Amino acid sequence: MPRTISSISPLSSNKRVPIRIPGTMMNEVDRIVRDHPELDYNRQQFVESAVREKIERIVILASARANNSFIRVGDHLKPL
């Protein structure tokens, strides 16, 4: 059988790095994950999702600010 060409898959190239989160915050994450099984998250997924959402929000706000546009906050439009 011929050798398979090895390449780095996109998922394997995303190395994980350790971070430090306050214990009280992780206790809250653990409580939310435990009390809300409908979210279908473990603590790692919850933290990754929260960080990802924050990054996406900042990127959207930066893009809107660069275009001198407005954002919707509730029922109101606010200039950036």
pLDDT of residue 38: 95
pLDDT of residue 30: 97
User: What letter represents residue 67's amino acid?
Assistant: N
Distances (CA, A) of 36 to 27, 32, 49, 54, 59: 14, 6, 15, 21, 29
pLDDT of residue 9: 52
- The residues with which 72 forms a beta bridge, in sequence order, are 77
Render each residue's pLDDT in the chain as its tens digit; 80 residues.
445 555 545 555 678 899 999 999 999 999 999 999 999 999 999 999 999 999 998 888 787 777 776 667 776 666 65
Domain ranges of the chain: 23-79
